Structure 1
Amino acid sequence: MHFETIVRGLRDSNYELNNESRLVRAGLKAEQNTAAIVERYAWLYSPDALAEVDAAVGESEKRVHGALLQGLIERRTAAAQDRLLGFFARAEAQVGGEKVQFFTALARLAVEPAPKRREEIGEALSRVIEEAEELTLEINRTVMTVLREQGHESYIRFWSELKQVDYSALQSELVRVRATSAPLYRGWIEPRLQRCGHGFGSTPQFHQPYIRGLAEHDAVYTKERFEPAMRSTFARLGLELFQSPTIHLDLSDRPGKNPRASVSVPEAGREVHLLVRPAGGNHDYAAFLHEAGHALHFGLTDPEIGWPLANLSRSFAYPELWSFLIEGIGRDPLWLQEALGAPAEQAQTIAADLTGVHLMMFTRYTAKLAYELELFGGDPLDRERGRRLYRELPRRTTGFVYDERWWQYDRDDAFYSADYLRAWLAQADVERRLRQRFGERWWADPAAGAWLRQQWSRGCEPEAEETVAELGGRPGSGEALLAMFRERLEGMRVG
């Protein structure tokens, strides 16, 4: 079995798997059947194929070896994952006297203005999530079994070695940044918790999506302004998001469509799909900008660098760096004035509130990572322990009460939370460098767009921290992020 044959198999299977999951996420297909696809590539997702790839030979081989390791897990869990996604696609939440499709109810949390109603929706969602607990445990049990069979006793060590991340060092820096920014966070979040009828440490998590949506600024984020604002933003950068032959946009609202915006990449540099389910308000704008960053990064990748470096990132921190960078344009008060027509004072207020949301999400994800590391530091299949950790750990720093029934649903595989956090640290540093090089309105300079094109042509070759180092920054440092929080939230009028 030659290396080229294995790469071709990964490319073909990745293409099929991405399109299969996209159709389900888009609400265009009710049942996902990745298990059948994976089984067609059983020769690829096997110990024999893994043994043929020497990760020490070079970076491409290292990426392929990592993909095969993850493929071994996916092959064993694919059927159960299909059943789980099918369950949620069909599930209905009983909200009062109304039955609401699960993903539709999840999307309503972001737009429901009545606090009591949000809590009713949250309780209904929790009941559905609890029904899937046994199936989720089955998947996680299988993951741990596969890792042990491959000689990996520690889930944390496995991902640390595969992604080349020191989670202990990362967490130390995150705790420092969170502690330093805590007064800013408390000052911004507490008035909002009170409007929900609760206080810090007693507010149900179900209010977080609505707080994140900043409904008080909906008048600025109109449906009519959305597309012109997005078209002009990318046009000024010289990035043809709406005309790119490699990027396909899906903005339709369907009942079975997952409300979580996403990008599907069947093959970087050749075919990319951007999916957003509009819910109204600022969230639509932020979600579109975020996913546009992913779509442009993968859509403008040069496929000639080779499939492994174009499509297989060492971790998700590098792709998320670019999506957070583009999303951050929407927090700039000058962009709010120019793209959305907000008066200067109002733009400053909105920028401060958007930064407050950013800080809220950063605080949430540091708590999420702390929970996940604690969970996998012991028995991750211990239901009572897992529920207790999820209920107690995030509450201490976020101010929200987390429903223990979400202890597995609210967790992405492979410590994706850490990749998000690493990307936030890197994004703040890269944005600072762009401002120094292209000016405060870097997002309106075609030269900045050309620089981004050059970066994105490299596909997934570098890592987030390496990009920061290339630009003269401090990899893994939270100083740039702290400076941004202070700049926008200290002394600014917050809504």
Structure 2
Amino acid sequence: MVSEPQNHVRREWTEKLLVMTREMRRRDLSLHLGSEHVRNDTCSLINLADVKEVKRIFGTAGSAGRVYFQAVDHFIRSKVEPFQAVLNTWMQGAKARVNARDIPFAEVITWCQDTGDNQARSAMSKEVRSLCAFLAPFSYASWKVLLNVLEHDLGYPEYLAFCEEKRGVSLTNSSSHARDFLGETRDTYRGLIEPWLKKVTKISLGDASRFDAIYLLGLRYLDHLFPQGLTIEKITGFFRKWGMDLAGNPALHIHSEGMPGRQSYCIPVDIPGEVHVIVGPLHGWLDMESLFHELGHALSFIYTDPSLPPEEKDFYQSGALSEAFAFLFQRMCMSMEFLQEILGLSSENARTVSRAHTLKWLTLTRRYGAKLVIEVENFRLGRLEKGQSFYSEIMGRETCFHYDPETYLFDLMPDFYSLDYFQAFMGAACLWEYLNEAAGEDWILDTETGSILHRWWRNGNRLDLSAFLQETLDRPLESGPFIKVNQYDP
């Protein structure tokens, strides 16, 4: 039985961490928008004594444990940020030189998505390999600080064990599931990827690098089929079919900034009251995908029940549930039904775009499954710095594209976020299959879909993805629906 004084202390700490979280997200928003951020002086940093106090009060398990791990995240961030700032400074100055043009390191992916010149992409591969080799020590320094803080300050000598306790999952089992999926889809994938690559680029798979894959998945070569005059306003208007007025919702802020294909973000400053979506201009399929993906995040936040406590809406250690909603929307906007019925494409053009996207979906899912396998194995064996060759080997085998070992640290995601992406691809297919059953195969056009989504979203982040599917839909998180929903029609 918790006494009233203890409850008071719990409320004080929860509120303090909530304020810190909102301040952190507001600062991230300013950075992504390129605007100056005025720091809230009332928001003080958290120290190790604070973290230990929060652990004593809340423990590490269940929803209360989320408060502790939120405190841990703030503490770790305060220690790592100075080293990350050094890396960012060097990255901002790093440029790849291709065809007498300097391409900033941060814009390499966008450049590859837009560049149909095979020789230029090959030159970019060599440039990035050199840049990554130069920048790797700075990236490694940030990771080393993180691991040292975990071991010496927080008592977690193993990064794998820390992330498992934080997430409440077995990463070893998750990696095993990813291996099973990779094995289950390997032959199908290999039979599809080479003809697609050859048709688009005239390159054989044995000569292709990850930069060719970036171009292939960017779908810019299909932008001549993109509807002229399509606007963000028209897209947000689609959601009125589901009873959602996005234009009139004061909680949703959409920023269309910078170049097409830029990195997109959804930043929930205050759930559910203030959520920001940052995307580039709407010039092609990739831009529309990004917009729908971020709207999937955003709507799951703005329709969250505001009465939920912070540990069930603001503090969450896995992003897989929100990513599943994001992938559901992204997959939906590139489906035959949406392309024909909403965007007005001909049956032939809709089939061309939808087929390409289905192959993209399989490629991306296998990529994140392979990354998860690599990251779990490398951290299990304690080879953060020496995991490059294993990374290059497994990514090459499972994606069929060459990955330079030097790029490893720049493809490594903190907190095993590769697991969130991998599970979210599976989860989105489970959601899709459920909507097919509950609202019919034309659920995209059915008003009942809005009611179903509202019910799902009201739960906020009370459950992680696996628990949500089991408790809400009475089905497990598994690969079967993904393979069924994403069948390729040759």
The TM-score, its normalising length taken from structure 1, stands at 0.90
Farther off after superposition, 292-301 or 40-49? 40-49
1:185-334 correspondence to structure 2 within 5 Å: 185-194=189-198, 195-222=200-227, 224-227=229-232, 229-253=234-258, 259-278=262-281, 280-334=283-337
Equivalents in 1 of 2:240, 2:21: separation in Å?
31
Residue type matched to 2:252 in 1? I
* Higher-RCO chain (CA-CA 8 Å, sequence separation at least 6): 1
Corresponding residue of 1:406: 407
Residue type matched to 1:311 in 2? D
Equivalents in 2 of 1:110, 1:324: separation in Å?
20
Residue type matched to 2:179 in 1? V
Shift of 1:139: 0.9
What do the CA deviations read for 1:51-75 (whole angstroms, capped 9, x no partner)? 343236862x221011122223212
Residue type matched to 1:185 in 2? Y
Match of 1:357 among 340, 356, 360: 360
Corresponding residue of 1:14: 21
Task: Give the unaligned 5+ runs of structure 2.
Answer: 1-7
Contact conserved, 1:336 with 1:347, CA < 8 A, in 2?
Answer: yes
Residue type matched to 1:93 in 2? A
Contact conserved, 2:136 with 2:409, CA < 8 A, in 1?
Answer: yes
Contact conserved, 1:201 with 1:395, CA < 8 A, in 2?
Answer: no
Task: Give the unaligned 5+ runs of structure 1.
Answer: none
Shift of 1:462: 1.2
Shift of 1:199: 3.0
Contact conserved, 1:46 with 1:72, CA < 8 A, in 2?
Answer: no
Shift of 1:261: 1.1
What do the CA deviations read for 1:251-281 (whole angstroms, capped 9, x no partner)? 1216xx9922111111111111101124842
Equivalents in 2 of 1:423, 1:341: separation in Å?
29
Percentage identity across aligned positions?
23
SS at match of 2:96: strand
Matched, 1:158 2:165: no
Residues 2/52 of structure 1: CA separation in 2 closer, same or farther (3 Å cut):
farther
What do the CA deviations read for 1:291-349 (whole angstroms, capped 9, x no partner)? 10011111222222122211112411111111111112113211110122112233233
Residues 298/342 of structure 1: CA separation in 2 closer, same or farther (3 Å cut):
same
1:113-152 correspondence to structure 2 within 5 Å: 113-149=116-152, 150-152=154-156
Residues 147/247 of structure 1: CA separation in 2 closer, same or farther (3 Å cut):
same
Corresponding residue of 2:3: none
Equivalents in 2 of 1:129, 1:37: separation in Å?
37
Contact conserved, 1:9 with 1:44, CA < 8 A, in 2?
Answer: no
Farther off after superposition, 263-272 or 176-185? 176-185
Equivalents in 2 of 1:215, 1:40: separation in Å?
45
SS at match of 2:277: strand
Equivalents in 1 of 2:384, 2:185: separation in Å?
34
Residues 84/16 of structure 1: CA separation in 2 closer, same or farther (3 Å cut):
farther
1:53-68 correspondence to structure 2 within 5 Å: 53-55=57-59, 59=63, 61-68=64-71
Corresponding residue of 1:81: 84
1:369-388 correspondence to structure 2 within 5 Å: 369-382=372-385, 385-388=386-389
Matched, 1:478 2:447: no
SS at match of 1:274: strand
Shift of 1:247: 1.1
Residue type matched to 1:117 in 2? A
Contact conserved, 1:103 with 1:258, CA < 8 A, in 2?
Answer: no
SS at match of 2:486: helix
1:335-484 correspondence to structure 2 within 5 Å: 335-382=338-385, 385-484=386-485
Corresponding residue of 2:44: 40
Contact conserved, 1:330 with 1:336, CA < 8 A, in 2?
Answer: yes
RMSD value, Cα? 2.6
Residue type matched to 2:483 in 1? L
What do the CA deviations read for 1:228-271 (whole angstroms, capped 9, x no partner)? 551342121222233321111111216xx992211111111111
Equivalents in 2 of 1:151, 1:201: separation in Å?
46
Equivalents in 2 of 1:44, 1:287: separation in Å?
38
Corresponding residue of 1:50: 54
Contact conserved, 2:371 with 2:418, CA < 8 A, in 1?
Answer: yes
What do the CA deviations read for 1:123-170 (whole angstroms, capped 9, x no partner)? 334433333212211111111111112222221121112111222222
